[in-house]
Amino acid sequence: MIRKNVADASEALAGVSDGMTLMLGGFGLCGIPENAITELVRLGVGGLTCISNNAGVDDFGLGLLLQERQVDHMISSYVGENDEFERQMLSGELKVTLTPQGTLAEKCRAAQAGIPAFFTPAGYGTEVAEGKETREFGGKMYVMEEAFQADFAFVKAWKGDEAGNLVFKGTARNFNPCMCGAARITVAEVEELLPAGSLDPNEIHIPGIFVQRIFQGTGYEKRIEQRTVRMR
Amino acid sequence: MLDKNGIAKRIAQEVQDGYYVNLGIGIPTLVANFVRDDISVEFQSENGVLGMGPFPWEGEEDPDLINAGKQTITTLPGASFFDSALSFSMIRGQHVDLTILGAMEVADNGDIANWKIPGKMVKGMGGAMDLVASAENIIVAMMHTNKAGQSKLLRECTLPLTGVQCVKKVVTNLAVLEITPAGFLLLERAPGVSVEDIRNATEGRLTIPDEVPEMAL
């Protein structure tokens, strides 16, 4: 067995430096790598390009990095819930590349799978397709999109083992599996780090080969953005 | 004239037995409340769940279980979770039968704009561009006019497009309209709304048949 476990977030983020491109899993605040984000703030690295479906909220998630002006470029599909983000974007301090959600996921998956580019119908005829190659297949038009190139991927899983195998929970799965192995180094943080052999190989979502470092996360806040309930 | 629930109720009639359906944020989310209970339908949310159920009972919210609007949800028997790439394989691969979403503008050729108002609102397209580019059957749920009283059913969209020539049907507070090569075809009137009201509120090309029945709700 090849061991991937490291002591903590500090060890897991060794080698992260200014100007890097980072992938961060999560949808809204669901399934975000909370510990890695806290450590990125502590390290104070700047000039980052962040690939993440959303940009957090003002005081949580990626919003924490934005507050400290550590991010130069965000690549996201939806950025609606963050005032500081909007301010930085409209003032030009922050470059934002809005990307259709399925294209964002596939650009991760393509990087993971060693596919340099692919064609998608999403965005054809819109400003998203401007400057990109388009081609007709079977009478329909498609846009060529390229795989991401990233230095680190930070993902959050529910359970993991020392071999780096991962299991996700509920809709906290989202972009996390697509980002595993899609960057030079993938760092997984888990709620429960188990000895190898504890997880049923039949039920592993992401095999450890896609993960370089894994650590037991602490203090998960798991904030809910839109608490919607039925009254009893 | 219909309210938001009325629009949702009318659209629910378009949902057929055996359909997998993706509901957008806003009025489309309400459609789930009005689907007949004698048919089998599964709701897909693009953040990674199929078989979405109602909101949880108070105290049973799970932060690891949300829909694409980031609302806490539940799942129904037969539900499944999956990652974002697989979710959009369902969407792009046309495995989802019906997409219902909101819009700021729809043009009479089926173009739709719903993600950006230059200089004012830039929140992003989320999954909307993937959905409209791929779905076989797209129904738009929206008000017929904007808050200033201007038509949202146009000859050409003025806002940045989300997708081209993709909308099949529009259900508004005033009418049900189909997109045809000749523009909007008026299919039904909302209760208490005249053909003249609809003509006045529609800027795009509009074909009015001799008989325009009132919606049966």
Q: Consecutive 10-residue runs of chain A (232 residues): their mean pLDDT?
A: 97 98 98 98 98 95 96 94 85 94 98 98 98 98 98 98 98 98 98 98 98 98 94 81
The position carrying tokens 């390229």 is A146
Closest residue on chain A to B85 (Cα): A105
Contacts of A46 (CB under 8 A, 6+ apart): A18, A19, A69, A70, A72
Q: Phi and psi of A213, rounded to 5°? A: -140, 140
What is the set of domains in chain A, with CATH numbers?
A: 9-115+148-216 (3.40.1080.10)
**Confidence (pLDDT) at A191:** 98
Q: Are B141 and B175 in contact (CB under 8 A)?
A: no
Q: Has B46 been annotated as catalytic? A: yes
A51, amino acid identity? I
- Of A27, A89, A227, nearest to B61 by CB-CB distance is A227
Provide, rounded to the nearest whole percent, the portion of chain B with pLDDT above 90: 94
Is residue B96 within 8 A of residue B49, CB to CB? The reply is: no
Residue B205, helix vs strand vs coil: coil
Between CA B23 and CA B29 the distance in angstroms is 6
Neighbours of B122 (CB within 10 A): 17
- Name the active-site residue from B14, B42, B46, B105: B46
- Give yes or no for a contact between A124 and B166, defined as CB atoms under 8 angstroms apart: no
Cα separation, B30 vs B7, in Å, equals 9
Residues of chain B neighbouring A225 (CB-CB closer than 8 A): 66, 70
pLDDT at B123: 87
CB contact under 8 A, B72 and A78: no
Q: Which residues of B touch A223 (CB under 8 A)?
A: 63
Average pLDDT over residues B35-42: 96
From start to end of chain B, where are the E strands?
Answer: 20-23, 42-45, 49-52, 75-81, 98-101, 105-107, 112-113, 116-117, 121-122, 138-141, 153-154, 169-171, 175-180, 183-189, 206-207
pTM assigned to the model: 0.97
Query: Lowest-confidence range among A84-93, B16-25, B140-149?
Result: A84-93
Inter-chain touch B56–A230, beta carbons under 8 Å: yes
Strand partners, A190: A157, A216
Radius of gyration of chain B (CA): 17
Q: In this structure, are residues B31 and B41 in contact, taking their beta carbons and an 8 Å threshold?
A: no
ipTM: 0.97
Say whether A171 and B48 touch across the interface (CB within 8 A): yes
pLDDT at position A83 is 85
B195 CA: distance to closest CA in chain A (Å): 33
d(CA B184, CA B109): 8
User: Residue B179 has which token pair?
Assistant: 């997109």
- CA–centroid distance for A228 within its chain: 25
Q: Give the max Cα distance, chain B.
A: 54
Please give, rounded to a whole number of angstroms, the shortest distance from the CA of B96 to a CA of chain A: 14
Per-residue model confidence (pLDDT) at position B131: 97
CA distance B123 to A86: 9
B88·A89 Cβ contact <8 A:
no
The minimum CA-CA distance between B109 and chain A, rounded to whole Å, is: 13
The share of chain B scoring above pLDDT 70, in percent, equals 100
Q: Which amino acid is at A206?
A: I
